[in-house]
Structure 1
Amino acid sequence: MPSRAVLATALTVTILGSLFYLSSSSTSTFSPERLAHNMASREYDASLPLSFTLSQISKSSPPSLLITLKNSSPDKTYTILKWDTPLDPAALHSGIFRITNQATNKELDIPRLMLNRKLPPSKEDLEEIAPGTEHSVEVVLDKPWMPTEAAKYKVWVKGTFKGVREGSLAEVQDEVLEKAGGEGWQTGIFNSGSLVLEVE
């Protein structure tokens, strides 16, 4: 039979491991693994009436885009977690942009950064969009990876809504934010289709 010393050591390791797990689970630092765990039981909803379209604002270098999110539902308001969507202030670092030189068909190498998010999200990380309305943001392609020479490019955005909730922003309470990307939230894929971007 195992000695008492061995049993005591095993028990200590088990307790310390449990405490480490609980401590790690309660941290407020965002990790892709934690959000992925929240999303694991969510099914992608292909029927979400939310879509992005692109238009060009400026052709001068650096060029700029107007990215518009439309809610085509006639009667439902949605609240969206902006992370990793074009509405995210860090959108150019999130890997959702695809840009291809139209003449060479060569895709630009756009680096994706690991962003240090905080959980739960704040209400500033959310966007409400009412039935039949649009919300637009301007994105300036001013990063080092964007070529400055005159050319035409095909550009589009493609990714995943990490959290979409039916209802208004005012209805999102703290306990709902705690479950962002999990229970009570939907996920869905967005793909804007391509725009020919001109750089002069």
Structure 2
Amino acid sequence: MSGSSKVKDGVSGLEFKISQISKNPPSLLVTLKNNNPSLPFTILKWNTPLDPQATNLGLFKLVDEETGKEIPMDGLKVNRLIPPSKEDLVTVAPGTEEAHEIVMNKPWLPEKRPASYNVTVSGKFSGVWEKYGDDLQASDLEAYLDSPFSGKSFTSNEVSMRVE
């Protein structure tokens, strides 16, 4: 399945896609695209693939293509300074995208080489606003869990990741 993400309980217009950009070290490019023609979205990166801690949060699902077994990944609990800072946000203007490289070189990745894994990423947004980041007030950040799309789901496409 190389299609795009589906909006079930998600945010209409926002789409995560993943693709492999390197086999050694195994690296994925995660792209968040805003397909909305007129509305910007500002996203709190926490607990999304754009989070610097993404590979430690249990967001990625890896299934060994040979055995069909899911690779166990325990998500770490990350303590955050509240309210979030402007550096914790990313704004995606209408029709644009934000990309982030994820290196999958964590200790939980099996040592077996070469190998192939089916990979998806999914989770729930912590904070999403239909406005530019510069338009957010301190009160918006303090109440990020009350943002219009907080708790909405995201799921990416599935990609075959080759590890060499």
TM-score by length of 1: 0.74
Instruction: Tell me, in whole angstroms, the C-alpha distance in 2 between the residues paired with 1:46 and 1:118.
Output: 26
> What number of residue pairs does the alignment pair up?
155
Alignment of 1:117-128 (within 5 A): 117-128=80-91
Distance 1:47 1:123, change over 3 A: closer
The one-letter code sitting in structure 1 at the alignment partner of 2:88 is D
Instruction: Tell me, in whole angstroms, the C-alpha distance in 2 between the residues paired with 1:146 and 1:109.
Output: 9
Q: 1:47: how far off?
A: 4.6
Q: 1:173: how far off?
A: 1.5
Question: Is 1:51 aligned to residue 15 of structure 2?
Answer: yes
CA RMSD, aligned part only? Answer: 1.3
Question: Is 1:95 aligned to residue 29 of structure 2?
Answer: no
Instruction: Tell me, in whole angstroms, the C-alpha distance in 1 between the residues paired with 2:139 and 2:98.
Output: 26
Instruction: Tell me, in whole angstroms, the C-alpha distance in 1 between the residues paired with 2:156 and 2:11.
Output: 15
Q: Which residue of 2 aligns with 1:104?
A: 67
Bigger RCO (CA 8 Å, 6+ sep): 2
Runs of 4+ in 1 over 3 A off after TM superposition: 44-47
Secondary structure of residue in 2 paired with 1:186? coil
Secondary structure of residue in 1 paired with 2:79? coil
Q: 1:45: how far off?
A: 5.3
Q: Which residue of 2 aligns with 1:37?
A: none
The one-letter code sitting in structure 2 at the alignment partner of 1:96 is L
Structure 2 unaligned segments of length 5 or more: list them.
Answer: 1-7
Q: Deviations over 1:22-61 (max 9, x none)?
A: xxxxxxxxxxxxxxxxxxxxxx95352101101111112x
Q: Deviations over 1:39-94 (max 9, x none)?
A: xxxxx95352101101111112x300000000000000010011100000000111
TM-score by length of 2: 0.90
Instruction: Tell me, in whole angstroms, the C-alpha distance in 2 between the residues paired with 1:121 and 1:47.
Output: 21
Distance 1:128 1:47, change over 3 A: closer
Structure 1 unaligned segments of length 5 or more: list them.
Answer: 1-43
Q: 2:29 is matched with which residue: 47, 61, 66?
A: 66
Secondary structure of residue in 1 paired with 2:145? coil
Alignment of 1:2-21 (within 5 A): none
Q: Which residue of 2 aligns with 1:185?
A: 148
Q: 2:126 is matched with which residue: 162, 181, 184?
A: 162
Q: 1:150 is matched with which residue: 109, 114, 122?
A: 114
CA contact (8 A) 1:45 1:186 kept: no
CA contact (8 A) 2:10 2:154 kept: no
Instruction: Tell me, in whole angstroms, the C-alpha distance in 1 between the residues paired with 2:99 and 2:131.
Output: 20
Q: Which residue of 2 aligns with 1:85?
A: 48
**Higher percent of residues as helix:** 1
Secondary structure of residue in 1 paired with 2:95? coil
CA contact (8 A) 2:11 2:153 kept: no
